[in-house]
């Protein structure tokens, strides 16, 4: 029998390749939509079969809006990528980010981690492994303790005094003030002084410095990097190529410049061992355990991290809160009266005087609920289950046995807000912007109502644990105490020194971009993990301390 060799011309080869590719893509779509372990969870078709829709929204700065709309359409749990679930229920916070004594804690998802140079021999708190994170957090626990933050009041007040002086200069000549910029300058100079004993000079210059520009670029770089990991998988060859060719060079340069500038500051500060300036490094160097627990590289990386985390979110809360004050007369008058009664003069503004002001606390909590400092969700990966309860030793009814029961060890997954079992390796998160604006968690969620925080009886159906601006659990924000002190001190100083009003109605002064639209979303304000806040122009009038309020 004679065998004939079949030859294919280039056109036939192209058809075969094209047909095979189409069948392969159809197979992937079919698997992801109908056969995938997450196929039982609702979500829009394109989102369940591809990561591209999420990437488009992230790069466009509108990701927070689409996630909120998806939850309004599909409910408390939505499949927002082939291997990702988003939750908005209040109890999901503890299940995902809490200490999870009944199961292994959820680690940061590889999609979320990886923006820093992998060649470094260490990672900062945000990206560190579970063991390294616990060690570093222990080392920084003293500088960020409430008692240490109180001792740092003179450092914070010194920068606020400079801030007030610069605003007074503008008020004296009746010049409009863009508080968005000035809040950024203030937050950066405070964190620079607290990190390095070296403010960045933003308040002195009254304009963006290299630190401001580099931080903005670094924030965008992080979003682009996350998008490449979503499309190609973390740390793959394709992801590296996408990062190399698609991430704008400006953003790459911003990250490197920020790191190098931070390195210069840390190196200089570590050499100055005789100063008694009570910044973070002061406490690290004088605490033998902290000094032993941290390497020089870890001090550098965490200082670089604190600059961004300690300035961007704080300035965002200050700008959002000020917008609320100038557009809600009742809130303005109530808060001003409380602060001016407790602190009739600037000298009376102390942490002891302002830490327990009830309306100020409620105002800050409601500001961070409605205008969340972080726009997106912190991604976690569902861990492999612990051994089943039957494998635990101990007597029946003991805490070890009882606490193991919620673990889905018997099911090969875990439960989140009663949903599950969710298989190991699934990416999960709660999106701040969605959780804090959901009717599932709040009465009249799109309204600014500080009263909901004054007494549980005011809004009995509110689930106040649905608002977690500083996260919770083992990875909760270490700077929570410091941030609250800064916010309280800034608003008390502002309302003690000035009356102010919003210069609305003028496009040149940035008015149209502030506020909420009919759907309850920010007007034209983009979110790239944190907000890109527009200009906030106000008119300041200096107050007379003769006794009137």
Range list of β-strands (E), 5-83: 77-81
The answer to whether the CB of 545 falls within 8 A of the CB of 345 is yes
Nearest to 331 by CA among 321, 317, 340: 321
Structure confidence at residue 142 (pLDDT): 81
Structure confidence at residue 102 (pLDDT): 67
Q: Is residue 320 one of the residues assigned to a domain? A: no
The answer to whether the CB of 99 falls within 8 A of the CB of 463 is no
Q: Is residue 165 one of the residues assigned to a domain? A: no
Q: Confidence band (pLDDT; 50, 70, 90) for 513? A: low
Structure confidence at residue 462 (pLDDT): 96
Q: What is the mean pLDDT of the chain?
A: 85
397: tokens are 């009814």
Structure confidence at residue 158 (pLDDT): 95
Mean per-residue pLDDT for 245-263? 90
Higher pLDDT among residues 512 and 109, named by residue:
109
Mean per-residue pLDDT for 427-431? 96
Higher pLDDT among residues 534 and 37, named by residue:
37
Nearest to 431 by CA among 469, 482, 402: 469
Q: Is residue 452 one of the residues assigned to a domain? A: yes
Q: Is residue 533 one of the residues assigned to a domain? A: no
Lowest mean pLDDT among 60-74, 101-115, 134-148, 329-343: 101-115
The Cα 393–Cα 389 span in angstroms is: 9
Burial 65-97 (b: 16+ CB within 10 A, else e): bbbbebbbebebbbbbbbbbbbbbbbbbbbbbb
Q: What is the dihedral of CA 260, 262, 267, 272, to 10 degrees?
A: 150
Q: Is residue 244 one of the residues assigned to a domain? A: no
Q: Tell whether residue 2 is among the known ligand binding residues.
A: no
Contacts of 454 (CB under 8 A, 6+ apart): 358, 359, 362
Structure confidence at residue 362 (pLDDT): 98
Residues 65-110: pLDDT tens digits?
999 999 999 999 999 999 999 999 999 999 999 987 666 788 889 8
The answer to whether the CB of 311 falls within 8 A of the CB of 191 is yes
**Which run of H or of E encompasses 353?**
helix 351-354
**Is pLDDT of 115 > 80?**
no
Lowest mean pLDDT among 29-38, 110-119, 380-389: 110-119
Structure confidence at residue 148 (pLDDT): 84
Structure confidence at residue 409 (pLDDT): 42
513 phi, psi to nearest 5 deg: -85, -10
Helix (H, G, I), strand (E, B) or coil at 399: helix
How many Cα atoms occupy the beta-carbon half-sphere of 144 within 13 Å? 21
Q: Is residue 416 one of the residues assigned to a domain? A: yes
**Is pLDDT of 408 > 50?**
no
In whole angstroms, how far apart are CA 139 and each of 134, 280, 293? Answer: 9, 11, 6
Residues 266-284: pLDDT tens digits?
888 888 877 888 888 888 8
User: Helix 130-140 and helix 296-327: axis angle, to 10°?
Assistant: 70
Question: Whole domain around residue 75: which residue ranges?
Answer: 40-119+376-460
The Cα 370–Cα 331 span in angstroms is: 15
Q: Confidence band (pLDDT; 50, 70, 90) for 308? A: confident
Q: Is residue 321 one of the residues assigned to a domain? A: no
Residues 334-369: pLDDT tens digits?
999 999 999 999 999 999 999 999 999 999 999 999
Q: Confidence band (pLDDT; 50, 70, 90) for 411? A: very low
Q: Work out the percent of the chain whose per-residue pLDDT is above 90.
A: 50
Lowest mean pLDDT among 178-182, 366-370, 393-397: 393-397
Range list of β-strands (E), 209-281: none
Quick one: CA dihedral 520, 524, 530, 535, positive or negative? Answer: negative
Structure confidence at residue 398 (pLDDT): 32
Q: Confidence band (pLDDT; 50, 70, 90) for 412? A: low
Residues 436-482: pLDDT tens digits?
999 999 999 999 999 999 987 889 999 999 999 999 988 899 889 99
Q: Which of 8-22, 67-81, 209-223, 529-543 has the highest mean pLDDT?
A: 67-81
Q: Is residue 440 one of the residues assigned to a domain? A: yes
Range list of β-strands (E), 101-165: 107-108
Contacts of 319 (CB under 8 A, 6+ apart): 179, 180, 183, 533, 536
Helix (H, G, I), strand (E, B) or coil at 542: strand
Contacts of 504 (CB under 8 A, 6+ apart): 327, 511
**Is pLDDT of 231 > 70?**
yes
In whole angstroms, how far apart are CA 203 and each of 160, 162, 164, 278? Answer: 10, 7, 10, 21
Q: Work out the percent of the chain whose per-residue pLDDT is above 70.
A: 86
Q: Confidence band (pLDDT; 50, 70, 90) for 285? A: confident
Q: How many domains does the chain have?
A: 1
Range list of β-strands (E), 182-231: none
């Amino acid at each position: 029998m004679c065998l004939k060799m079949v030859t294919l011309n280039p056109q036939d080869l192209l058809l075969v390749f094209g047909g095979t590719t189409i069948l392969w893509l159809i197979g992937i779509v079919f698997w992801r939509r109908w056969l995938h372990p997450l196929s039982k969870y609702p979500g829009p078709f394109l989102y369940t079969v591809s990561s591209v829709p999420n990437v488009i929204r992230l790069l466009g700065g509108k990701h927070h809006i689409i996630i909120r709309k998806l939850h309004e359409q599909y409910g408390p749990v939505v499949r927002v990528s082939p291997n990702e679930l988003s939750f908005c229920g209040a109890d999901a916070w503890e299940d995902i980010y809490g200490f999870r004594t009944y199961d292994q804690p959820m680690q940061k998802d590889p999609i979320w981690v990886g923006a820093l140079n992998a060649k470094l021999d260490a990672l900062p708190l945000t990206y560190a492994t579970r063991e390294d994170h616990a060690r570093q957090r222990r080392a920084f626990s003293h500088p960020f303790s409430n008692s240490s933050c109180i001792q740092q009041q003179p450092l914070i007040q010194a920068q606020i005094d400079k801030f007030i002086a610069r605003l007074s200069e503008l008020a004296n000549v009746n010049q409009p003030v863009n508080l968005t910029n000035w809040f950024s300058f203030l937050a950066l100079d405070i964190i620079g002084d607290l990190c390095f004993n070296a403010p960045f000079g933003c308040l002195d210059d009254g304009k963006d410095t290299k630190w401001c520009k580099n931080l903005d670029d670094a924030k965008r770089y992080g979003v682009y990097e996350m998008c490449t990991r979503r499309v190609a998988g973390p740390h793959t060859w394709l992801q590296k190529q996408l990062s190399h060719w698609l991430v704008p060079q400006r953003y790459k340069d911003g990250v490197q410049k920020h790191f190098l500038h931070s390195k210069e500051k840390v190196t200089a500060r570590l050499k100055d061992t005789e100063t008694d300036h009570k910044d973070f490094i002061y406490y690290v160097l004088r605490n033998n355990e902290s000094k032993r627990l941290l390497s020089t590289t870890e001090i550098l990386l965490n200082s670089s991290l604190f600059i961004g985390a300690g300035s961007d979110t704080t300035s965002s809360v200050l700008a959002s809160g000020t917008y609320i004050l100038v557009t809600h007369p009742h809130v303005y008058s109530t808060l001003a009266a409380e602060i001016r009664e407790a602190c009739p003069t600037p000298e009376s503004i102390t942490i002891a005087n302002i830490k327990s002001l009830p309306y100020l606390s409620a105002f800050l909590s409601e500001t961070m609920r409605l205008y969340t400092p972080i726009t997106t969700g912190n991604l976690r990966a569902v861990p492999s289950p612990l051994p089943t309860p039957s494998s635990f030793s101990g007597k029946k009814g003991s805490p070890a046995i009882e606490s193991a029961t919620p673990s889905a060890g018997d099911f090969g997954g875990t439960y989140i807000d009663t949903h599950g079992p969710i298989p190991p390796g699934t990416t999960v998160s709660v999106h701040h912007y969605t959780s804090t604006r959901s009717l599932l968690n709040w009465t009249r969620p799109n309204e600014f109502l500080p009263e909901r925080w004054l007494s549980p009886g005011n809004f009995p159906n509110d689930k106040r644990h649905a608002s977690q601006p500083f996260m919770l659990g083992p990875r909760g924000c270490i700077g929570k105490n410091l941030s609250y002190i800064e916010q309280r001190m800034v608003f008390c100083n502002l309302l003690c020194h000035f009356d102010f009003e919003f210069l609305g109605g003028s496009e040149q002064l940035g008015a149209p971009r502030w506020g909420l639209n009919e759907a309850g979303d920010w007007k034209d304000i983009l979110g790239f993990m944190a907000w890109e806040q527009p200009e906030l122009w106000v008119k300041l009038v200096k107050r007379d301390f003769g006794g009137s309020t």
